[in-house]
Structure 1
Amino acid sequence: MTEGKIKASGATDPGWRRRGTLILLATAVLTLLLIGHRLIPNVRGFGSLVDTGAPFLGLGIPLLGLAALLRRSRNGLIALIVPTVVWTLLFGTAWLPSGDGGSARLRVASQNLRAGNPDPAGTVAAIAATGVDLIGLQELDEVGRRAVGGTLRDRYPHQVSVSTVGLWSRFPIRDEVGVDTGLAWTRALRAVVAAPGGDVVVYVVHLGSARAGDTDTRDRTVTALAAQLRRDDAERLIVLGDLNTATTDRVIEPLTDLLHDAQADAGRGPGFTWPAALPVIRPDHVLYRGLTASSADVVRTPASDHRAVTAGFR
């Protein structure tokens, strides 16, 4: 048998055809997961976990493309156009330019300081260096509060804190109050800031933690915060905080149904913040209403396990 006949025989071998079929099947499953990940039942937080990791489903596209090349499956390569388009529409648009980049009248930041932070002053100094007007902090213990206060006192003379959350401001603060989110202790506050253009209500929030197989506490606090925001009639409002949920997670919808997401409206990319060394999710958010977001960014800060998030508003 000649070499040409051997090659022809290999190309029509049932094993090769079967492997090509498996690539097509895997491509179909990937496409369905991308389109319908929020339809997966959220039993013990599994659906929420899939939602959070949904952007990384796109990694399956080049892997399947490599398999199709190795198996010389032209149909497999063509089929990959579908999940590629779906992923781009769902997640790829986050990389497109957004926001007008214009001058902001109010600039804000949020940082999970990290309980037991060895250098809280260094963490907040990096945030202050960005020139923001308001800094909302979470996981603020007594040692951290003293260190932060000393670092920010001159530039941010107005400060309020409740339990482990705090707000530092260049502008006067009044009417501060703790907010009950259904935890055993108060881990959120509401304050009125006399910002340029008029008062802005600012919430600094640290919602309940979520762990694999146990998201009930986090889910309950999301619901409680959403109920509080529905009752709040402030025209201009900002939420700064570690919400322990990603923007792709269905659980955040009670909040995003009420408020806009600064990163989605004026940032570029997914804006991942945790873990700080190599972030893969975004639990830290700036949500708002009654304002126009002109910019949003993520700032690498020292000594914390979260990166900070910032936003500018007109």
Structure 2
Amino acid sequence: MFLDLTGIDSCEGFEHFGHRLKAHVLNTVGLPIGVGIGQTKTLAKSAQWASKVWKQFRGVLALTPDNPKRTMTLLENQPVEEIWGVGRKIGKRLNLMGIKNALQLAQSNPRFIRNNFSVVLERIVRELNGESCIPLEELPSSKQQIICSRSFGKRITSKTAMQQALCLYATRAAEKLRSERQFCRHIGIFIRTSPHAVNEIYYGNSAGEKLALPTQDTRDIIEVAMSSLDRIWLDGRRYMKAGIALDDFTPNGVAQFNLFDENKPREKSAQLMKVLDGINQSGLGNVWFAGQGVNTAWKMKREMLSPAWTTCWDDIPVARIQ
């Protein structure tokens, strides 16, 4: 996480603020963290790395323009692969070129780095020299697509079972869509058999629909998923995977209609979905669409799922006393 500390030094020192921030996170969240402060995001990450490695700074390190010696010492002692955004793969290539630490990378020619690596690494070089090239994002960028897909624990051969699976995936995708506060204009599904099954002809297909009215209503998404399935379903196949994709997002559900348009928004859709999400997130119970089925045998493959020893009766270890 990055914070903009512009002007904070007029009220208190950077390191004093860092220690207060570290203590606040530990007391409220219970997480021990390292705090690094620098002119750029890359320098701040390098300072955070050093705050964890150099115990004398007690988890807080500030790189400021008035102490260039500290910055030089840090960069000289930081391996190049430990720089934020570099990693081991690029680090090995840099090592072959004689660039072993962050200081050597900072002293490299930015144009040379760009021509031999990427513009991203060039920005890192400039950031190590105090030139801000990576802007601070105040809000995370919204998703451009939401996909919900799973491989089945058992092959699906009946259309009813596939409808149940897609209904469940549509519900999950709609929940994610509402959590992003988005509406979608396009809904698509796909189904496929296993390409590795012996003596079986592979089949995979997809279908979708463009909506006249953007929606985040689970009922609309399920309706499109079911009609799309009708167009691509083939009997006599053993399906191993299916999924649903939502895209073409808009932050609101407003659309222009004419007087005789048959497409109208569902009444009280937002209120109903809010109540539905509230119940399911409260922990007091679950509400689901009947189309999802009950005790389905096709549930996703979960052989590697960790046991829920403290929350599931079936996973409680059994001790035998003899």
Return the TM-score normalized by structure 1: 0.24
- Between structures 1 and 2, the one with greater strand share: 1
Return the TM-score normalized by structure 2: 0.24
Larger Rg: 2
